[in-house]
C-alpha cells in the first residue's frame, strides 16, 4: 500500500509540473493547436490518477480552496448548458482551458502534501527559471525577433517562447520567488561556505531577473516589486528578530539587482516614462476596463458568458485606438463582465483564502516555516497583481503554472504546525530548518 501511495504521489508531482512547463515551452499554449493538446493531456492525466487512486485504495484529498474553484467552474459550465452566454463556442473554448487548469490544480493539491515533493518541485522550477531566462536573453539579442531561432514572431513582442512579452514576464513573476528561495537555501554539507553555495545557486534567479528587464514589461517589474514587499511582510517576524537574516536578504537582493544591470535597464526605464510604446497605452487599458464595467451593468448577475469579451466588446467600444482588443488587459474587469456577480463571488472567495493563507504563513514559527511554500504563495500573488493590468490567464501555460504554484502554497496549509520543544534546539533546530528550505538561522 505504501509503495502505491508513493508511486501515485510521484505521478501527481510529475503531471502537475510537466504539463505547465511543457505548455510554457510550447509558445505559452496560446494557439488552438497547442492548448487543445495540453488540455487533452491534462484531462487524461487526472483520469489516470483517479482510476489509479481508486485501484490503490488511496483516500483523495479535499481542501477548502477547491470550493470556490469548483463553484466558478460550475457557473461557467451552467452558462454554457443553459445558454446564458452571448457566444457558446467561445465559452466552450474557455471552459476546456479552465477545466485543464482545475485538473492540474487538483493533482498539485495531492502531490504537494508530501514535503519531499515540494522540495523536488522547487529544484525543478529553480533550474527551469534559469534555463528559460538564459534562452530568453540569448534569443532576444541573437534571434532577430524569431522564437527558438526559427519561428518568425516580429509581428509581436517576442521574449523567450512567448509572442507577447508580458506573458513572459508573468511566467517569471511566478518562477522567480521560488527560484530565489531555492538559491537562499544552504544544505548542511555547504554550511562551511554558505556564500559560495548561494552564489552558485543564485545564477539561475539572476538570469531570470535579467530576462525580465530585457522583456521591458512595466507590469512585470511592478509585480516583482510587489512580490518583494510581500515577501518582506511574510518573513518580517523572522527578519525582525534576526539581524543576520536581514543582512543575508538585503545582500541577496542587492546582488540580483546588480547582476540585472548587465542586461541594460535603459529601454525599460524609457518605457516607464511613456504611456505608449508599440502597444496599448495605460490610458487605453483603463478605458477598456471601464467599458467592461459598462457591460457588467447591462448584465449584472449572469454576465455575457465566460470568454465572450472578444464578441461582446465591439458593441460597447467607445474609442478607436487602431488596435484589435482580444482581451481587456484587466482579468478582474473582464471576469466581472463575462460572469457577473455570480462568478465574482467565488473569485473573491479564492482571493480571501489566499490572503488568509498569507496571514497564517507570517505567523508560523521559523523552524516550521516552509520557504518554498511561502515563495509559491508570493509568486501566485504577484501574478494576480500583474493581472490587474494584463491578460495573463489567457496564456494557458501561465495559467497552468499559476495553479501548480497555488497547489504548492495550499497543499499543506491544513497541517497542524509543530511547536518547538526543548529536545530540538541549537544545531538540531537549525538543521531541521535548513531541511525545510528556510532562511538561515543564527
pLDDT at 277: 46
Residue 97 — very low, low, confident or very high, per pLDDT cuts 50/70/90?
Answer: very high
Residue 423 lies in a domain: no
Residue 176 lies in a domain: yes
pLDDT at 48: 97
Least confident of 91-100, 194-203, 402-411: 194-203
Per-position DSSP letters for 77-99, written without gaps between them: HHHHHTT-SS-HHHHHHHHHHHH
Q: Which residues contact 158 (CB under 8 A, 6 or more apart)?
A: 139, 145, 146, 147, 164, 165
For residue 129, is pLDDT > 60? yes
Vertex 302: Cα angle to 298 and 306 (nearest 5)? 105
Q: Render pLDDT for 138-174 as a digit per residue (tens, 0 to 9).
A: 999 999 999 999 999 999 999 999 999 999 999 999 9
Least confident of 3-12, 18-27, 39-48, 320-329: 320-329
Residue 54 lies in a domain: yes
Residue 440 lies in a domain: no
For residue 59, is pLDDT > 50? yes
Percent of residues, the chain, with pLDDT higher than 90: 65
**Please, are residues 400 and 101 in contact by the beta-carbon 8 Å criterion?**
yes
Residue 217 lies in a domain: yes
For residue 83, is pLDDT > 90? yes
- For 182, phi then psi, to 5°, come to -65, -40
Per-position DSSP letters for 367-390, written without gaps between them: GG--HHHHHHHHHHHHHHHHTTSS
Q: Render pLDDT for 5-35 as a digit per residue (tens, 0 to 9).
A: 899 999 999 999 999 999 999 999 999 999 9
Residue 419 lies in a domain: no
DSSP 421: -
For residue 368, is pLDDT > 80? no
DSSP 324: -
Distance CA 29, CA 377 (A): 23
Give the orientation angle of helix 115-142 with respect to helix 2-25, to 10 degrees.
Answer: 20
Residue 1 — very low, low, confident or very high, per pLDDT cuts 50/70/90?
Answer: low
Average pLDDT over residues 372-381: 94
Residue 418 — very low, low, confident or very high, per pLDDT cuts 50/70/90?
Answer: very low
For residue 350, is pLDDT > 90? yes
pLDDT at 86: 96
Q: Render pLDDT for 167-214 as a digit per residue (tens, 0 to 9).
A: 999 999 999 999 999 988 766 555 545 667 777 888 999 999 999 999
**Please, are residues 152 and 145 in contact by the beta-carbon 8 Å criterion?**
yes
For residue 426, is pLDDT > 50? no
pLDDT at 194: 64
Distance CA 436, CA 180 (A): 15
Q: Which residues contact 291 (CB under 8 A, 6 or more apart)?
A: 313, 316, 317, 318, 328
pLDDT at 3: 84
Residue 270 lies in a domain: yes
Give the count of domains, the chain.
1
Residue 442 lies in a domain: no
Least confident of 166-180, 302-316, 333-347, 353-367: 353-367
Give the orientation angle of helix 115-142 with respect to helix 165-184, to 10 degrees.
Answer: 130
Distance CA 48, CA 56 (A): 12
Q: 440: phi > 0 → left, psi -120 to 50 → alpha, else beta; which? A: beta
Tell how strand 146-147 and strand 151-152 pair up: antiparallel
Range of the domain at 147: 2-413+429-435
Least confident of 183-187, 316-320, 387-391, 421-425: 421-425
Average pLDDT over residues 77-104: 97
For residue 438, is pLDDT > 60? no
For residue 253, is pLDDT > 90? no
Where do the H-state alpha helices sit in 26-154? 32-56, 66-81, 88-111, 115-142
Q: Render pLDDT for 254-274 as a digit per residue (tens, 0 to 9).
A: 888 777 777 777 677 767 676
Amino acid at each position: 500500500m505504501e509503495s502505491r501511495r508513493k508511486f501515485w504521489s510521484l505521478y501527481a508531482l510529475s503531471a502537475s509540473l510537466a504539463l505547465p512547463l511543457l505548455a510554457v515551452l510550447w509558445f505559452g499554449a496560446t494557439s488552438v493547436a497547442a492548448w487543445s493538446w495540453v488540455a487533452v493531456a491534462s484531462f487524461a492525466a487526472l483520469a489516470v490518477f483517479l482510476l489509479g487512486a481508486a485501484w490503490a485504495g488511496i483516500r483523495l484529498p479535499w481542501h477548502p480552496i477547491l470550493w470556490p474553484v469548483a463553484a466558478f467552474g460550475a457557473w461557467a459550465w451552467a452558462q454554457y448548458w443553459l445558454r446564458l452566454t452571448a457566444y457558446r463556442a467561445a465559452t466552450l473554448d474557455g471552459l476546456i482551458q479552465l477545466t485543464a487548469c482545475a485538473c492540474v490544480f487538483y493533482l498539485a493539491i495531492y502531490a504537494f502534501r508530501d514535503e519531499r515533493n515540494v522540495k523536488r518541485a522547487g529544484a525543478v522550477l529553480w533550474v527551469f527559471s534559469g534555463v528559460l531566462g538564459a534562452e530568453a536573453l540569448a534569443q532576444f539579442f541573437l534571434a532577430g525577433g524569431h522564437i527558438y531561432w526559427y519561428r518568425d514572431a516580429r509581428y509581436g513582442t517576442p521574449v523567450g517562447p512567448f509572442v507577447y512579452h508580458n506573458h513572459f514576464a508573468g511566467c517569471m513573476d511566478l518562477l522567480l520567488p521560488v527560484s530565489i528561495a531555492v538559491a537562499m537555501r544552504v544544505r548542511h554539507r555547504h554550511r562551511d561556505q554558505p556564500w559560495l553555495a548561494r552564489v552558485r545557486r543564485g545564477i539561475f534567479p539572476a538570469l531570470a531577473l535579467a530576462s525580465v528587464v530585457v522583456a521591458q514589461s512595466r507590469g512585470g517589474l511592478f509585480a516583482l516589486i510587489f512580490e518583494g514587499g510581500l515577501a518582506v511582510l511574510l518573513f518580517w517576524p523572522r527578519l525582525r528578530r534576526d539581524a543576520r537574516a536581514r543582512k543575508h536578504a538585503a545582500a541577496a537582493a542587492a546582488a540580483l539587482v546588480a547582476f540585472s544591470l548587465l542586461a541594460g535597464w535603459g529601454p525599460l526605464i524609457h518605457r516607464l516614462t511613456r504611456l505608449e510604446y508599440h502597444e496599448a497605452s495605460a490610458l487605453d487599458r483603463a478605458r477598456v476596463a471601464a467599458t467592461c464595467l459598462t457591460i457588467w451593468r447591462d448584465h449584472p448577475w449572469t454576465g455575457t458568458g465566460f470568454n465572450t469579451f472578444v464578441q461582446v466588446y465591439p458593441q460597447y467600444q467607445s474609442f478607436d485606438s487602431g488596435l484589435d482588443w482580444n482581451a481587456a488587459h484587466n482579468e478582474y474587469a473582464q471576469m466581472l463582465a463575462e460572469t457577473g456577480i455570480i462568478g465574482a463571488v467565488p473569485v473573491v472567495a479564492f482571493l480571501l483564502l489566499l490572503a488568509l493563507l498569507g496571514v497564517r504563513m507570517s505567523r508560523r514559527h521559523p523552524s516550521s516555516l516552509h520557504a518554498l511554500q511561502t515563495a509559491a504563495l508570493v509568486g501566485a500573488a504577484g501574478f494576480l497583481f500583474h493581472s490587474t493590468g494584463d491578460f495573463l490567464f489567457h496564456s494557458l501555460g501561465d495559467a497552468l503554472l499559476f495553479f501548480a504554484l497555488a497547489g504548492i502554497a495550499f497543499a499543506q496549509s491544513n497541517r497542524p504546525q509543530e511547536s518547538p520543544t526543548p529536545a530540538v534546539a541549537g544545531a538540531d533546530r537549525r538543521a531541521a530548518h535548513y531541511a525545510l528550505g528556510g532562511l538561515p538561522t543564527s
